[in-house]
Chains A and B, each alone.
Chain A
Amino acid sequence: MDIIDLSVAAKTSENYLGFLDQVCDRLELDFASYATTSPMTGAVQGYANYPDRWKMHYMQRNLHRVDPTIHKSALSIAPVDWSRFERDEKFKAVFFAAGDFGISPQGLTVPIRGPYGDRGLLSVTRTCSREEWDKLKRRVIGELQVAAVHLHDAVMRSDVISQALRQPKLSRREREILQWAAAGKSQTDIGDILGISHRTVEVHLRSAREKMGALSTVQAVGRAIGLGLIYPR
């Protein structure tokens, strides 16, 4: 996969911004931004590939304090389409000048929740017709969810204490399935061997991949061997 792998890349804002650029390129989006509030300090950490002029405008006016895409989306478990905020006074305050900066008020925010009560938000925008937007959303929403959690986990692991806390915890089933994958078995084979449905294999494999911050099964197998969770063969 050509996307920056944040689980191995240096934890730098250049890499986070590069990741946002790639998400936009791959998923046909104009702009992307990510924000999180530290559960410990309350400090806001954010990255965005918006034009600098818009970032200046947004920061000088402290628009993050009223921006409903930030304050409301975190209350949802599902991605929130900004059309839900269209009639909102605060939304108008943030976005009324956005057009002058080439920013579309057409977007959505993916809320991310981590195991320690940490929360993050990945927002994306795209200028196009309503119909195109609805089609695009349906096509990319699953990938956006995975990208959002990958980015959030990387940001959360960026200090030493969090890294120690966040060693991936795989279940016996996940290790067993990775072990068979390491032996070159397909998902279908593994399901037959373990007497479980292929979709059960798939869901465990996906969970194992994401817990390890891996973008592919091959990579997850490599990492699991590296961590001593499974054996090379």
Chain B
Amino acid sequence: MIFVIDSLNKHEYPALLNDMFRLRKRVFADRLGWDVRVSNGMEKDKFDDLDPAHVISVDDSGEVVGCMRLLQTTGPHMLADIFGELLDGEAPLRSATVWEATRFCVDTERLTRGSERNSISYVTSEVMIGAFEFAMAAGITDAVAVIDPVMDRVLKRSGNAPYGYLGSPKPMGKVTALAALMDCSEARIQSIRDYAGIRHDVTLPQRVIA
């Protein structure tokens, strides 16, 4: 199930946010070896202080299993200030209707390889559906997402291939990072839903049929 948490409602979900920062530490510091700031077992950076929106996937036992952070490209964001290298030193996109997605990850240790409810592919799709629906309601038409090649492959084979890339892939920690473009559209959401078999409203709790 998806939660969208921003500075308007974060006081309602302190534990969920901390779990998300712990997941990000396990993924970006431990697994991908990125040069990120870790304290108290949590990965947080200065962009988390700029009132971003977090899209968070929680599994049936209440664990945070996936997340993504969204910021407007009109204001300070990672491709403008930190990931400039990915754009080969070029100026970043700046548009009222384009958002940036960063820190996109899923819990590969907890999730399975298949396509059932607790799989990497299902949770990735759920986070993307949640993010695209939130973005569309806000009038956003496109997103630029910083991802690694593994995530890129997951997107390509789950009905959610990026329509383009900015700059060129660059080494970052143990992997490479790239800036991918995706449209926030009904067509894309439908395509993700078809591949993942997700028909319900992802922001509502689901009854689990054992």
Question: A interface vs B, CB < 8 Å?
Answer: 72, 74-80, 84, 112-115, 117, 119, 138, 141-146, 148-150, 169-174, 196-197, 199-200, 203-204, 206-207, 210-211
Residues of B within 8 A of A76 (CB): 6-8, 51, 53
Bound complex: CA A149 to CA B78 (Å): 19
Shortest Cβ-Cβ A-B pairs, 9 listed = A113-B75, A141-B139, A200-B164, A75-B7, A171-B90, A142-B139, A78-B138, A149-B96, A169-B91
- In angstroms, how far is the closest chain B Cβ from the Cβ of A31? 19
Residues of B within 8 A of A149 (CB): 74, 96
- In angstroms, how far is the closest chain A Cβ from the Cβ of B7? 4
- Mark contacts of B83-108 with chain A using CB atoms, 8 A cut-off: 1 yes-contact digit, 0 otherwise: 00001001111111111000000000
- Mark contacts of B68-79 with chain A using CB atoms, 8 A cut-off: 1 yes-contact digit, 0 otherwise: 001111111000
Residues of B within 8 A of A206 (CB): 95, 97-98
Residues of A within 8 A of B76 (CB): 113, 115, 117
B58 close to A (CB within 8 Å): no
- Nearest opposing residue in chain B for A75, CB measure: B7
- Knowing A113-B72, A141-B139, the reply to whether A148 touches B163 (Cβ < 8 A) is no
Q: Which of A77, A112, A143, A174 contacts B51 (CB 8 A)?
A: A77
Residues of A within 8 A of B98 (CB): 203, 206-207
Bound complex: CA A197 to CA B71 (Å): 24
- Complex A-B: 20 CB contacts under 8 Å: A75-B6, A76-B7, A77-B71, A78-B134, A78-B135, A113-B75, A138-B137, A142-B140, A145-B97, A145-B140, A146-B96, A148-B96, A169-B91, A170-B91, A174-B91, A199-B163, A199-B181, A203-B142, A207-B73, A211-B94
Q: Is the interface of B mostly helix, strand, loop or mixed?
A: loop
Bound complex: CA A199 to CA B187 (Å): 14
B42 close to A (CB within 8 Å): no
B51-A75 in contact (CB<8A): yes
Residues of B within 8 A of A119 (CB): 75
Of the four ranges (under 10, 10 to 19, 20 to 34, 35 or more), the interface on chain B belongs to: 35 or more
Q: Which of A138, A142, A173, A197 contacts B163 (CB 8 A)?
A: A197
- In angstroms, how far is the closest chain B Cβ from the Cβ of A168? 9
Question: B interface vs A, CB < 8 Å?
Answer: 6-8, 51-53, 70-76, 80, 87, 90-99, 134-135, 137-142, 163-164, 166, 181, 183
- In angstroms, how far is the closest chain B Cβ from the Cβ of A53? 31
Q: Which of A112, A138, A141, A171 contacts B92 (CB 8 A)?
A: A171
Q: Is the interface of A mostly helix, strand, loop or mixed?
A: helix
A200-B181 in contact (CB<8A): yes
A145-B181 in contact (CB<8A): no
- In angstroms, how far is the closest chain B Cβ from the Cβ of A74? 8
A115-B8 in contact (CB<8A): no
B74-A114 in contact (CB<8A): yes
B163-A210 in contact (CB<8A): no
Bound complex: CA A120 to CA B164 (Å): 31
Further 13 A-B residue pairs, CB within 8 A, beyond A77-B51, A196-B164: A74-B51, A77-B71, A78-B53, A114-B75, A138-B137, A145-B96, A149-B74, A171-B87, A200-B163, A203-B98, A204-B93, A207-B73, A211-B94
